A = this chain, B = another copy of it.
């Protein structure tokens, strides 16, 4: 609605307000001290937050602010997917490099809008700051749990099937910038079968499955080497870094596929509603994580916990 490009913070805020579409949950969007929302009264509220930093989760100069905006919203939406929920609102706080603050903010917003529009998310508030440091984007997304309620990490049981919603590994080639939050996929699954545990694969299958095992009371899992779907990007990366494609599929982060745990008896029905879902292993009583090769030999896997306080992306 604004014809001229915005200048300064207030111009930018006016421009953002002119861009914001109103969905049913938003009573007051951007422009007051708080956003005012009216979530569905009979559904539990989901809240998740993720912060992305230049040099850590993206490189602004290489990737561009539009991709950063899409990734920053996408990783949060993926967390809503991992509860089987439906997102409806987001607030965005940014620390913008001073020299290009307004242009960067606009590009970020353009990238966010792509996903926000697709997934029915209102941008209802924010905090814009400029500084001499690198770009930092922090987003909080609100969503609603859908029946039968939010799917936690803690419901896995021995004998359950472990499955994933798509091929894994090698996302650093570029896919990590374009997360596809599996919101529809999660909803299809939880609408069709009892899902015992659900997590999105942000730190790597081994590590994220490890969270499920730990939160489910210290269970274990056996993954079938031949069943783990390996992404073409993992093959490409394998050629240059010498790590096996399977190692990439098990340990690379930022795939943003879902890891699903459900009863053996329900797996066929899950595959009917979501043909892309692939069985990769089985939950077992004994704590630990193993890889079974073609000969049936079990190899203990180190669930390389992705420690965000130590590791460089």
Which residues in B have their C-beta under 8 angstroms from that of A79? 33-34
- Residues 176-219 of chain A: 1 if any B CB is under 8 Å from the residue's CB, otherwise 0? 00000000000000000000001110000000000000010000
Q: List 20 A-B contacts (CB under 8 A).
A: A8-B309, A27-B150, A31-B153, A33-B48, A33-B153, A34-B47, A34-B82, A34-B85, A34-B143, A37-B44, A37-B45, A37-B46, A49-B93, A55-B133, A56-B129, A96-B309, A127-B138, A129-B309, A133-B136, A136-B138
Within 8 A of B (CB), among A67-110: 79-80, 82-83, 85, 89, 91-96, 98, 101-102
- State A38–B40 Cα separation when bound (angstroms): 11
- State A105–B145 Cα separation when bound (angstroms): 30
**Is A10 within 8 A of B130, CB to CB?**
no
Whether A49 contacts B127 in the complex (CB less than 8 A), given A33-B82, A83-B33, comes out as: yes
- State A307–B128 Cα separation when bound (angstroms): 10
Which residues in B have their C-beta under 8 angstroms from that of A85? 34
The 8 Å CB contact of A310, one of B9, B91, B136, is B9
Whether A39 is near chain B, meaning CB under 8 Å from some CB there, is yes
Closest CB in chain B relative to A253 CB, distance in Å: 13
Task: Please report A residues at the B interface, Cβ cutoff 8 Å.
Answer: 8-10, 12, 27-28, 31-39, 41-42, 44-51, 53, 55-56, 79-80, 82-83, 85, 89, 91-96, 98, 101-102, 124-134, 136, 138, 140, 142-143, 145, 150, 152-154, 198-200, 215, 305, 307-310
Which residues in B have their C-beta under 8 angstroms from that of A130? 308-310
The chain B residue sitting closest to A134, CB to CB, is: B133
**Is B138 within 8 A of A51, CB to CB?**
yes
**Is B128 within 8 A of A308, CB to CB?**
yes
**Is A53 within 8 A of B310, CB to CB?**
no
The chain B residue sitting closest to A98, CB to CB, is: B309
**Is A32 within 8 A of B308, CB to CB?**
no
**Is B310 within 8 A of A31, CB to CB?**
no
- State A39–B42 Cα separation when bound (angstroms): 10
Closest CB in chain B relative to A38 CB, distance in Å: 6
The chain B residue sitting closest to A208, CB to CB, is: B33
**Is A150 within 8 A of B34, CB to CB?**
yes
Whether A10 contacts B48 in the complex (CB less than 8 A), given A32-B215, A41-B41, A150-B28, comes out as: no
**Is A152 within 8 A of B45, CB to CB?**
no
**Is B53 within 8 A of A129, CB to CB?**
yes
Closest CB in chain B relative to A108 CB, distance in Å: 13
The 7 closest A-B pairs by CB, nearest first: A138-B138, A51-B93, A33-B82, A140-B140, A41-B41, A34-B46, A49-B91
- State A85–B34 Cα separation when bound (angstroms): 10
Q: Give the residue among A45, A48, A138 with the most B Cβ atoms within 10 A.
A: A138
